[in-house]
A and B are shown apart, each in its own frame.
Chain A
Amino acid sequence: SQTIHQWPATLVQPVGSPLSLECTVEGTSNPNLYWYRQAAGRGLQLLFYSVGIGQISSEVPQNLSASRPQDRQFILSSKKLLLSDSGFYLCAWSGKGLAGTYEQYFGPGTRLTVT
């Protein structure tokens, strides 16, 4: 069965510091991968998605970036965090049209607090 991992689970970082959040998927190959952010009082916001190694698409222009160095690894980064980057970051994966559904499965999330 497929499993999706995220780490760290929680993170407290000062403004201006760098960020690296990691997501890995087990039990599947060549998945679509997604990064979402869930801020207090707001819905889920899609940040980045990837259909393959080195292929990243950005939904929202901001100081965050994403990379996919391996098939089942997705990394979210920032060079300098802003207060507004605080939130709950969720990674998700989907198959490439498994029975045409693209059903998405989510990881446990990372709670980021920027101070």
Chain B
Amino acid sequence: KQEVTQIPAALSVPEGENLVLNCSFTDSAIYNLQWFRQDPGKGLTSLLLIQSSQREQTSGRLNASLDKSSGRSTLYIAASQPGDSATYLCAVRPRGSTLGRLYFGRGTQLTVWP
């Protein structure tokens, strides 16, 4: 069974810092990996999706990388802002999961203070 771990569980940084969130998964046979953002009491917002054949994806100040062989992904946030404060979740879709089943990590709670 696929297990997804996110480190650290919580992170508090001053505004302007560049930061890295980590995600690891136990089975490298994945189809893709998705990063989400969740604000308190809200649903999940998809940030980036990386196919297994890709090494990275970028959207604005966000850059997600994938090293499938080592079972790792990182989400890089450049020039962090207080509005980036949220919980960030990663999820993997295993190969053979034709129904799009995702396995989620427990998330990293990010606080960016002014």
Contacts and interface: CB of A to CB of B under 8 A. Distances in A.
Interface residues on A, range: 20 to 34
A25 to B, nearest CB: 13
Contact of B99 (A44, A49, A101, A109): A49
B30 to A, nearest CB: 12
Contacts of B32: 101-103
Interface residues on B, range: 20 to 34
Contacts of B18: none
Contacts of A87: none
Contacts, number: 57
Interface in A71-101: 88, 90, 92, 94, 100-101
B100 interface: yes
Given A49-B99, A102-B93, A104-B100, A109 B49 contact: no
B43 A108 contact: yes
B100 A105 contact: no
Nearest to A111: B41
A32 B98 CA distance: 11
Nearest to B44: A106
B99 A43 contact: no
A105 B34 CA distance: 11
Interface string B10-50: 00000000000000000000011010100001111110010
22 contacts: A42-B106, A43-B104, A43-B106, A43-B107, A44-B89, A49-B99, A49-B101, A57-B99, A90-B43, A90-B44, A92-B44, A94-B100, A101-B49, A102-B32, A102-B97, A102-B100, A103-B32, A104-B34, A105-B46, A106-B43, A107-B43, A108-B42
Given A90-B43, A109-B41, 11 more contacts: A43-B106, A90-B44, A102-B97, A102-B99, A103-B32, A104-B102, A106-B43, A106-B44, A106-B45, A108-B42, A109-B42
